[in-house]
Amino acid sequence: MIAAVRGTRDILPGESERWQYVEDIARRLFERYGYAEVRTPIIEREELFAKGTGETTDIVQKEMYAFTDKGGERVTLRPEATPSLVRAFVEHHLEQQMAVPKLYCLGPMFRYERPQKGRYRQFHQLDVEVFGVEDASIDAEMIDLAWSLVRELGVREAELLINSVGCPVCRPSFSAALVSALGEDVARLCADCRRRAGTNPLRIFDCKVPADQPIIDRLPHAVDHLCEACATHFSAVQQHLDAYGIPYRISHRLVRGLDYYTRTTFEILSGSLGAQNALLGGGRYDGLVKVLGGPDRTGIGFAAGIERLVLALPEDAPIEVARPHVFVAAIGDAARREAARLVKELRSAGLRAQLDYEGRSIRSQMKTADRAGAPLAAILGDDELAKNEVTMRNMASGDQTPIARRDVIDYIRLASADEGAPMAQPE
Ligand code: HAM
């Protein structure tokens, strides 16, 4: 047997319905907020993420599935969607085509991380981005969209964290303040943090090493070092969130592991997930569009891990598994031909119909109907053919009723109205 690659998984029937449920709710929600779908390629040039996600990030340094293709070009499987959506926005001049460029995409991402529950090497994101709006009201609307997604999915134990990481005006002095607050202690930090102190001191707040925590807890907070414009923006974001009535907590450690963030960052965690508890994360990235060769436009967005949303769904989420409306059973060659015709008619009428392919006994066809979960069986034999009828069997009670052949579709529609059977189309 050849098994799936470590860190990747098959989404099988039984679970795929849960994915469809999450994706359907997300798409409908994004559309209500004015977002349109973009489908970007899964492979991109490596430099898109080196420049976009950032050279100092774990993603770019350790986790990319990057390779040289047969034409000698450096490409990579995308580790995240934000740089791809920025590229598409710039490359196709979407600004000229959309009043407010609000884009979403969904699909697989790839990061060479250590797999564990909720963390995979191929995982899937729902990603939302909006370009060119500077006002804090869009930060709040973006957070509201993320919060609404989690609420509409019925996820319990969700907590919203927000922070501001400043901008190129105030970041350098905050980084310097961090380094000076660390002082001699820097030598007692883990190797990663010692490196971060030199390259990107903010990232020290991401450290999970227990021995480092007492030192990190004493460090100053970004929100106390914001320039006036960033401070005003952050307090406006909070006022809008208060107006929406969305509960949040300011987390000084929420700096996020990607280089492009400016000002607002946010995450939604769920207690039901275990160690990998971030359902989604995002923030503002006001310099990224320009860095990637576009006009000087702001951006903000978030991405949610679909695996984690699916894991966090409540037990009683109304997930429908599409059972057949009817199983058509037939005895004898003529009846089998008629069964195939009937099944085709039923399917054309929008009904889910199955049949037996092997010419098995009626008993074993009834067993198959049961296993398939069909509430009704339509039985055809020589008698039924002679009378131009079908015997309809209620699989639960075993009751059987002869129905005229021409009335079969209406009968099934009526009997399975609760199963979501489509009603007759007006002529
Ligand atoms: P991120 O925090 O790296 O942000 O990922 C967002 C979400 O993707 C996480 O909260 C988590 O649910 C999911 N995720 C990340 N890595 C894995 C993994 N290995 N296995 C399973 N799920 C995972 C971004 O990717 C940014 N592009 C978000 C963003 C959009 N910021 C602005 N716009």
252 and 304 share one domain:
yes
Residue 158 counted as domain residue: yes
Mean pLDDT of the chain: 95
Residue 176 counted as domain residue: no
Q: Specify the amino acid at residue 279.
A: L
| pLDDT at site 330 | 97
94 and 130 share one domain:
yes
Pick from 277, 312, 347: which residue ends a domain? 312
Q: Ligand 1 pocket: which of 8, 123, 161, 307 to mutate (most atoms <8 Å of CB)?
A: 123
Residue 376 counted as domain residue: yes
| pLDDT at site 427 | 47
The enclosing domain of 68 has a CATH number of 3.30.930.10
What are 98's two structure tokens?
């959309």
Q: Is 356 in the pocket of ligand 1 (CB under 6 A)?
A: no
257 and 160 share one domain:
yes
CA distances from 110 to 115, 126, 271, 404 (A): 12, 14, 25, 56
- The residue range of the domain holding 383 is 326-414
371 contact partners, CB below 8 Å, separation of at least 6? none
> What percent of the chain is predicted at pLDDT more than 90?
92
| pLDDT at site 31 | 98
Atom from ligand 1 closest to the CA of residue 129: 33
- CA 12 / ligand 1 centre spacing (Å): 23
For 51-110, what is each residue's pLDDT tens digit? Answer: 999 998 899 999 999 999 999 999 999 999 999 999 999 999 999 999 999 999 999 999
26 and 128 share one domain:
yes
295 and 359 share one domain:
no
3-state secondary structure of 364: helix
The enclosing domain of 376 has a CATH number of 3.40.50.800
Residue 426 counted as domain residue: no
- CA 301 / ligand 1 centre spacing (Å): 11
161 and 26 share one domain:
yes
164 and 277 share one domain:
yes
Backbone angles phi, psi at 196, to 5 degrees: -60, -35
Nearest CA, atom 21, ligand 1: 119
Question: Residue 61 carries which DSSP code?
Answer: I
Q: Is 282 in the pocket of ligand 1 (CB under 6 A)?
A: yes
- CA 383 / ligand 1 centre spacing (Å): 62
Nearest CA, atom 1, ligand 1: 281
Residue 221 counted as domain residue: no
280 and 340 share one domain:
no
Q: Is 119 in the pocket of ligand 1 (CB under 6 A)?
A: yes
β-bridge mates for residue 401, sequence order? 392
Looking at residues 305-325, what average pLDDT do you find?
94
138 and 251 share one domain:
yes
For 144-202, what is each residue's pLDDT tens digit? Answer: 999 999 999 999 899 999 999 999 999 999 999 999 999 999 999 999 999 999 988 99
Residue 114 counted as domain residue: yes
Q: Is 304 in the pocket of ligand 1 (CB under 6 A)?
A: yes
Residue 342 and residue 221: Cα distance in Å, rounded?
70
Does 426 have pLDDT greater than 60? no
386 contact partners, CB below 8 Å, separation of at least 6? none
Looking at residues 37-58, what average pLDDT do you find?
96
409 and 343 share one domain:
yes
Nearest to 401 by CA among 410, 409, 413, 389: 389
Provide Rg for the chain, Cα atoms: 28
Q: Is 146 in the pocket of ligand 1 (CB under 6 A)?
A: no
Residue 8 counted as domain residue: no
303 and 388 share one domain:
no
Pick from 289, 312, 335: which residue ends a domain? 312
Percentages helix, strand, coil for the chain (3-state, rounded to 5) are 45, 20, 35
Does 274 have pLDDT greater than 90? no
Q: Say how many domains are in the chain.
A: 2
Residue 184 counted as domain residue: no
Residue 399 and residue 163: Cα distance in Å, rounded?
64
Q: Is 280 in the pocket of ligand 1 (CB under 6 A)?
A: yes
Nearest CA, atom 12, ligand 1: 305
Pick from 263, 288, 312: which residue ends a domain? 312
276 and 336 share one domain:
no
